[in-house]
Structure 1
Amino acid sequence: MSVAEAGERIAAAARTLVGARFRLHGRDPALGLDCVGVAVAALRDGGVDVAVRDDYPLRTARWRAGDVPDGLVRCSGDRPGDVLLLRVAATQVHVAVRTVGGIVHADAGLRRVVERPGVPEWPIVAAWRVSEHG
């Protein structure tokens, strides 16, 4: 499977999560997801196995944007299925999955997973996609 095909599968998997409830540190769509949970579920449902720790620092400046999850590579974040790390505040980052028409992410304010059309309203700090070899 090509990188583009893998990305399309991941984006499609992310779109199936729209409507799932928000839950901090949530990893099960039936129980709720946070932003990292959305990315993990989309990657797994798209055929990429990832391991993510639960003590990730989304509310601090300690996030190391240079870190690359296993099986993924750094990218520009412009293709469906890319995982985006977004700067939503001076000391807060957020994770979303790029789709053809926008992004899928867990919206804590709306208490559910949503698809937001268009370009992300927040700056992209880092982005990753499936590796050709992953």
Structure 2
Amino acid sequence: MLRLLNPADKAEMLALVAKTQMFEKEEVSFISDTFENSSGEAIWFGAFQNEQMAGIAYCVPMEMTNETWNVLMLLVDPEHHRKGIGKALMHLMEDTLSAQGKRLLIVETSSTEDFQTARSFYEAIGYSKQGTIEHYYDDNDHKVTFTKRL
């Protein structure tokens, strides 16, 4: 089941974030605060398998643009990788934003080998690589940007 997340989902969402071990303690705290204090425009999506959260996606509008949005998080429980959950969450996000008249979705990711699967995933679901900002996240860790017209 796919749906928008609500405040009652916070504990389960944070448990999934912690389970992935992708984030430092301060990043988990930031995610918690962001979820709790999201502006009315930010949208959080969840994927559930057997009534348990299996994935999260989060996007926000880009300031000073005409209906451009940015995916800030796409996270799937490692036990559910390669089952179509990430793709389903991205399609739900795209459909939701498109229905609201939004026109462009941006995804930014790392250039490191650890993120090769993510980069391949975005290209496989129709995102176009637009460019790279070298040494953005750290020395030799570049930001790779993808977009998709809605």
- Quickly name the TM-score band, shorter chain normalised: under 0.3
The structure number with the bigger radius of gyration is 2
* Structure with greater strand share of residues: 2
**TM-score when scaled to structure 1?**
0.27
TM-score, normalising length from structure 2? 0.25
Q: Which has the higher helix share?
A: 2
